[in-house]
Amino acid sequence: MKMGTLLEVVKNLEIGSSKDIYESIDGTAIYIKRPEKVGRNVKRKYDVKTNIQIWAKEPGKKEFMPNHLRILIDLELKKQVRPELKKTLLLLFDKIYYGEDPEILFESVKDISFPKPLKPLDYDMYLAQLFIAEQGTGYIHESKFDPKYLFFQGWIRCVLSSNLEIDKICWSAIQNPPSPRYTSEDNKKHKKYNPNRRELWYIEEDIST
């Protein structure tokens, strides 16, 4: 579904309920929950009316809550094993950020494969969209970014386009916002915001398709 539709689904999800959203080609069910209470380990303040949890259930395994770092690490590994897909991946995840439907987008890349144990590409696409929706609806604090979910997209861009070690990226993603290099022209709060930005504006060098 498109981002606007997903945001409405998230907004209308009742407290204490859950909803199936996607199923990846390997059979992993991806769904959301709106818990009645926020977990005791959560350090930041959350509003139970807007807070959601993202869950995944792989065939034959227990359900679990994937986090943002899982996607960053998986994309880093995908970039390493298929470096010729760097531009394709950047364009793909930017289109998701800008609101396009990941299920429709996946049709154009469904023949791209990665060696096991890496997850299929649609798994990363679905979770990325859900994490964006989570930040867009559940983050109630003041943000340096407008839209707020640019925070996560900036780190996806960093992973796919830079040569930084994934250890450093993950540590930074936990502690700090992404560099303006990956966010400024999309950030309405930044002086370099550009509504007429070019495709992949944050990439200076020529990269392969």
- pLDDT (tens digit, 9 = 90+) per residue, 64-111? 999 999 999 999 999 999 999 999 999 999 999 999 999 999 999 999
Does residue 200 fall inside a structural domain? no
pLDDT in tens, 176-200: 999 999 999 999 999 999 999 999 9
Does residue 195 fall inside a structural domain? no
**pLDDT surpassing 50 at residue 7:** yes
Tell me, what amino acid is at 141? H
Total count of domains within the chain? 1
Does residue 138 fall inside a structural domain? yes
**pLDDT surpassing 50 at residue 209:** no
The pLDDT-based confidence of 135 (bands split at 50, 70, 90) is confident
The pLDDT-based confidence of 207 (bands split at 50, 70, 90) is low
Does residue 27 fall inside a structural domain? yes
The pLDDT-based confidence of 39 (bands split at 50, 70, 90) is low
Distance in angstroms (rounded) separating the CA atoms of residues 208 and 30: 32
Does residue 191 fall inside a structural domain? no
Structure tokens at 75: 């994309």
Does residue 194 fall inside a structural domain? no
Enter the pTM of the model: 0.90
**pLDDT surpassing 80 at residue 49:** no
What distances in angstroms separate CA 23 from CA 9, 40, 62, 123, one per listed residue?
16, 30, 15, 8
Which structural domain range is residue 75 located in? 3-186
Distance in angstroms (rounded) separating the CA atoms of residues 67 and 73: 11
Does residue 172 fall inside a structural domain? yes
Does residue 15 fall inside a structural domain? yes
